[in-house]
Amino acid sequence: MAPIYGETREGYSKIEVCCSGYARKPHSHYECHPVCDGCEHGNCTAPGVCECKRGYILLRDTTQPQHSIVNDCVPTCPLGCLNGICTNTGVCSCNAGTVPSKDGRYCLPHCTGGCDSP
């Protein structure tokens, strides 16, 4: 039997308003979930609390006092990514003037015509 409008499911109460920091799940009147700004590549576990998926770390805003956490998960390379940017696959995307190492985990300087040229 299809539920009648305004009827509640057995054992559940219909939620009209969620607590602060929570929002009703889309297409549901029975569950609220925590809200986080951002949190791409992560899971919002509590209001404003993002836990990053494996291979990602929380970005810290070094321009703010005490390097506050920004709810944004960025990829991390296990050995770092000197002279490049770590991609979602965990390998480095090299800056201009550098080339990837054979294993793609870091970037090496590359000079056209040799590095001893002026």
Where are the domains positioned within the chain?
A: 38-76, 78-118
What does the mean pLDDT of the chain come to? 76
**pLDDT (mean) for 5-12:** 56
- At 117 the pLDDT is 53
pLDDT for 34 equals: 93
CA distances to 33, 34, 80, 94, 102 from 23, in Å? 6, 6, 37, 41, 47
pLDDT tens-digit profile of 89-118?
777 888 888 888 777 667 888 877 666 655
Asked if residue 27 has pLDDT above 70, the reply is yes
What pLDDT, on the 0 to 100 scale, is given for residue 21?
Answer: 92
pLDDT per residue as tens digits for the range 47-90: 988 898 888 888 766 666 655 566 678 888 777 788 888 887 77
Are the C-beta atoms of residues 48 and 21 closer than 8 Å to each other?
yes
In the predicted structure, residue 28 carries a pLDDT above the cut 90: no
* pLDDT given at position 115: 63
